[in-house]
Amino acid sequence: MKSSLIITTYNWSEALELVLLSILEQTVLPNEILIADDGSTSKTKELIDNYRQKFTTPLIHIWQEDNGFRASSIRNKAIAKANGDYIILIDGDMILNRYFIEDHLKNAKKNYFIQGGRVLLSKKKSTKVIQHKQIKFFSLEKGLQNRKNSIHSTIVSNIFSNQKKTLKGIKTCNFSFFKKDALLVNGFNESFIGWGREDSEFVARLYNNGVNRQTIKFNCIAYHIWHNENSRKNLSNNDKLLELTIEKRLKWCDNGIDKYLKAENES
């Protein structure tokens, strides 16, 4: 099974560098890495170009014009470009535990997507992490706000991981699925503009198509670098789109990934 790791980013090359460094330490590398760039300046491109020679797996930069927060659009473009059977999504502020890719792949299961957790780094800790380019952490060190999430144990994971069908806790910063399942629902809905709910609405359509949730504990560990919250100004409109999908039990979005698939096939 070929895997594609997709990293969403926007104008934070310092954090993205730590993500790339943590990928280099993985016990299992993905078959390709696609950086889904929502309109960063050339500084991000320069970082990617400098790191490309360090990887034995392809490092692909997918960029779109900076026209506000358009996570759905850039994720769709990256998924359409991906050659992997299995997609692992992370954000560009998530430092990966060295078993991260291996954990996602070993837990992958037909008709399921994976929701992983995250360890929150404090503001002070995040500043130090960036300054010192720290990518390895220990459960008892200072600055880990929910340190129990940093415990890596397959035995404990098998006990506490669970299957559920809820939108609570859905976060595509640590998330994986089969590409065919994303295509089944036409990817992310690009009618979502600005931060919020595009990930939950994507999952709602997966549920409506019979794809279920596997929440993984004590595996698939990533460390979230602190940052200021994104603007919530469009959240009420996004909430309405999510409510519509739930009420109508929608299985497909019209404004989705299919337009990029056509472009890929034509090229």
pLDDT tens-digit map of 138-155: 999 999 999 999 999 999
Does 20 score more than 70 pLDDT? yes
Residue pair 117/175 in contact (Cβ under 8 Å)? The answer is: no
Q: What is the largest distance, in Å, between two alpha-carbon atoms of the chain?
A: 53
Q: pLDDT band at 14, cuts 50/70/90?
A: very high
Nearest to 117 by CA among 39, 42, 243, 218: 218
Q: Which CATH class is domain 3-266?
A: alpha beta
Quick check: helix, strand or coil at residue 92? coil
Locus of tokens 């709602």: 204
In the prediction, which pLDDT does 231 show?
A: 64
Q: pLDDT band at 207, cuts 50/70/90?
A: very high
Cα gap 141→20, rounded to integer Å? 22
Cα gap 214→126, rounded to integer Å? 29
pLDDT in tens, 42-101: 999 999 999 999 999 999 999 999 998 899 999 999 999 999 999 999 999 999 999 999
In the prediction, which pLDDT does 235 show?
A: 82
Cα gap 19→135, rounded to integer Å? 8
Cα gap 262→65, rounded to integer Å? 20
Residue pair 98/27 in contact (Cβ under 8 Å)? The answer is: yes
